[in-house]
Amino acid sequence: MGQIIILDQNMVNMIAAGEVIERPASVVKELLENSIDAGATKITVSIEDGGRKLLSVADNGYGMDAEDLAAAFEPHTTSKIKTTKDLRGISTLGFRGEALASIASVAQVRAVSRPFLERSEGMKTESGANCIEIDCGNTGSVSPASADYGTRIQVRDLFYKLPARRKFLKTANTEMGHIIERFTRIALANCDLDMTLTHNGRELHRLSGRDDIRRRIAELFSSEIADNLAEIKSNERGLDIFALLGKPGISRTNNKFQYVFLNGRFIRDKFVSHAIKEAYRGCLEPDRFPVVFLFIQIPYEDIDVNVHPTKIEVRFYNANLVHSQVLGCLREKLLGTNLDVSAKLPAIPHPESSASGSVVGRDQKIADAMAEFFKKHRPVPTQQQFARERADASGVAGYERRETKYQRPQFDRKFLQIHDSFIVAQIDDGFIIIDQHALHERIIYENLCRRLRESKLESQKLLIPESFEVTVPQADTLKTNAELFEKLGIELAPFGPRTMAIQAFPTLLAKADPLDFVQNLIDLLSHKEMDLDAERLLDEVLNMAACKAAIKAGQKLSDNEIEKLLADRKIVKRASRCPHGRPTTIKFTLSDLEKQFKRT
């Protein structure tokens, strides 16, 4: 008896802080969101020792008077919502009233705030600043202070009274990396804010509120990413979508560079992530992740953000609508975008000294002068051949010059095959290198898709049926997918106990080995997920079919075959990528080549 006790409020706050405040980055996120909700246009974040020693966030928002400042650090106090009805349409980043109380229960906090204007009997009067200090839940009294308009909150020695939590913090660099990530998310969603981030007195970011989203991306990441983004806007069925889609050339090995914002709030959602993945299907290698910046605006009453204290998870009241709209919008843009890969040539090394630089400059001038001379004085189109003759008895050798007319080729050949795997072709502003297998794979895939949309594939009877044994599970797979085999133009018939025979095979896959293809198809159907929809399953099958039937690397091609391949490339859709997402073409421009040969 008497073993169950009621915990005091400070202990409750310290336990609850475990959900809200995981590490220093969590503190920065909560304070930044409060600043934005307070209408700030300028925010400065100062960090020391990765957030272990100090986290400071200062803004020029509305500020708080003495009464509000005292109440702000009490549990479940907020200015964002008033009644239960407000939970159905939350428009602010914060609303739970837990963050400040949780922070104050696990660290030393000093908050100084000064409201910009105070209304009194219809008159606007200025108000002074106030300060409050809290030490792990022990709250001091509010006292006057000197400060500019807005609020500054300083958090020192996080978890210093909770050694079990503090020892799990990582190194200063690691924790700073998490802080930068939270800062980045807020900065991307609020391009109209002036934001500054410093660490140990060193400025890491200074972002102007006049920058557009591309400029902000260049500041936070790199110009390479900002310059390789395709922009898309859509406003249908109550969803306002704005996205910057990274081209395959800047893809990553993980989804860290996929930023999704819902009504200005960074979120992680499986429906949206799946839509992004499907939008890039066939445009990117399966093991790569695209760079995406996606901004979704939706009526506040159509979502529920009160799912988790971190507010990073949301629930859509119509998740299927969001998925289909995002997928359709992104997919349409990607299919209409040129995804050709441009070659990245190495940088030209600069001379190490002024002396060597003068020599290089002199040689360059000589080379340029010679090039200019030969441009103006082109040789006569004759070919000179020299035949050596025996000298006379005196032993002196002589040469007889014979001139023959130069025979021009019958056609202007602007391509060649190298290593029996790649095709080099001239274009107006340079040349391209084509992976013959990848391009032919795309051409066959598009032909298969077109034929299947019209009817089933044409097939041809085999002179000698090819037989193979099947296990009981494989026989079940054949029975389950009989309609798919018929649609593909593959005719199978029993040929004895546990044996099937291939009677007919599609003509479009004439270059593929029938037995090898059918066995691989059975393996593919046997190991695919049971919940895979029919469209996706057919796409997987067509990918495999195109790969099997395509020209192989190392296969010698005739000029006619190369010409046909180049002609098909101009008319086929998405010729820049094979069905698996690998590039088919790499482009070299004349300007890049001239730089490498120092002609510019």
Alpha-carbon torsion, ordered 36, 37, 41, 46, to 10 deg? -40
The reported pLDDT for the residue numbered 349 is 59
Same domain, 330 and 433: no
Same domain, 185 and 328: no
Same domain, 319 and 424: no
In sequence order, what are the residues at sequence separation of 6 or more whose Cβ sits closer than 8 angstroms to the Cβ of residue 118?
Answer: 65, 124, 125, 126, 127
**Domain presence at residue 92:** yes
**Domain presence at residue 122:** yes
What is the reported pTM? 0.73
Per-block average pLDDT, block size 10, for the chain (600 residues)? 69 63 92 94 96 95 92 85 73 80 92 77 66 92 92 94 85 93 96 96 95 94 92 92 93 92 93 93 87 95 80 89 94 85 64 48 63 55 43 43 46 81 90 92 91 88 90 86 89 90 90 88 74 73 88 91 91 87 88 80
The reported pLDDT for the residue numbered 399 is 37
Range of the domain at 265: 221-339
Residue 277 backbone phi and psi in degrees, to 5: -60, -45
CATH number of the CATH domain containing 122: 3.30.565.10
The reported pLDDT for the residue numbered 268 is 92
Pick the last residue of a domain from 166, 200, 234: 200
Same domain, 192 and 326: no
In sequence order, what are the residues at sequence separation of 6 or more whose Cβ sits closer than 8 angstroms to the Cβ of residue 491?
Answer: 459, 461, 485, 502, 503, 504, 505
Same domain, 526 and 583: yes
Beta strands 108-114 and 129-135: pairing type?
antiparallel
Alpha-carbon torsion, ordered 358, 362, 364, 366, to 10 deg? 180
550 torsion bin: left (phi>0), alpha (psi -120 to 50), beta (else): beta
Residue 263 backbone phi and psi in degrees, to 5: 55, 40
Q: What SS3 string covers 172-204?
A: HHHHHHHHHHHHHHHHHHCCCCEEEEEECCEEE
In order of 358, 359, 368, 370, 518, the CA distances from 363 in angstroms are 9, 6, 9, 11, 63
Beta strands in 268-381 (DSSP E): 292-297, 303-304, 315-316, 341-342
Same domain, 131 and 246: no
Cα separation, 131 vs 42, in Å, equals 21
The reported pLDDT for the residue numbered 195 is 97
**Domain presence at residue 60:** yes
SS3 helix, strand, coil % of the chain, rounded to 5? 40, 25, 35
CATH number of the CATH domain containing 543: 3.30.1370.100
The reported pLDDT for the residue numbered 600 is 66
The reported pLDDT for the residue numbered 324 is 93
The reported pLDDT for the residue numbered 511 is 82
Same domain, 456 and 553: yes
Same domain, 471 and 582: yes
The reported pLDDT for the residue numbered 391 is 42
Same domain, 62 and 183: yes
Same domain, 332 and 192: no
The reported pLDDT for the residue numbered 231 is 95
Judged by DSSP in three states, 243 sits in: strand
The answer to whether the beta carbons of residues 73 and 101 sit under 8 Å apart is yes
In sequence order, what are the residues at sequence separation of 6 or more whose Cβ sits closer than 8 angstroms to the Cβ of residue 213?
Answer: 188, 191, 244, 293
The answer to whether the beta carbons of residues 491 and 462 sit under 8 Å apart is no
The reported pLDDT for the residue numbered 175 is 94
Which tens digit of pLDDT belongs to each residue from 96-117? 778 898 899 899 999 999 997 6
**Domain presence at residue 451:** yes
The reported pLDDT for the residue numbered 326 is 95
The reported pLDDT for the residue numbered 15 is 61
**Domain presence at residue 353:** no
Burial of 393 by CB count in 10 Å (0-12 exposed, 13-18 middle, 19+ buried)?
A: exposed
Same domain, 184 and 233: no
Same domain, 295 and 419: no
The answer to whether the beta carbons of residues 554 and 562 sit under 8 Å apart is no
**Domain presence at residue 350:** no
Pull the structure tokens for residue 295: 């901004």
**Domain presence at residue 377:** no
Placement of tokens 């964002």 in the chain: 80
Pick the last residue of a domain from 318, 339, 360: 339
**Domain presence at residue 452:** yes
Pick the last residue of a domain from 302, 322, 339: 339
Total domains in the fold of the chain: 3
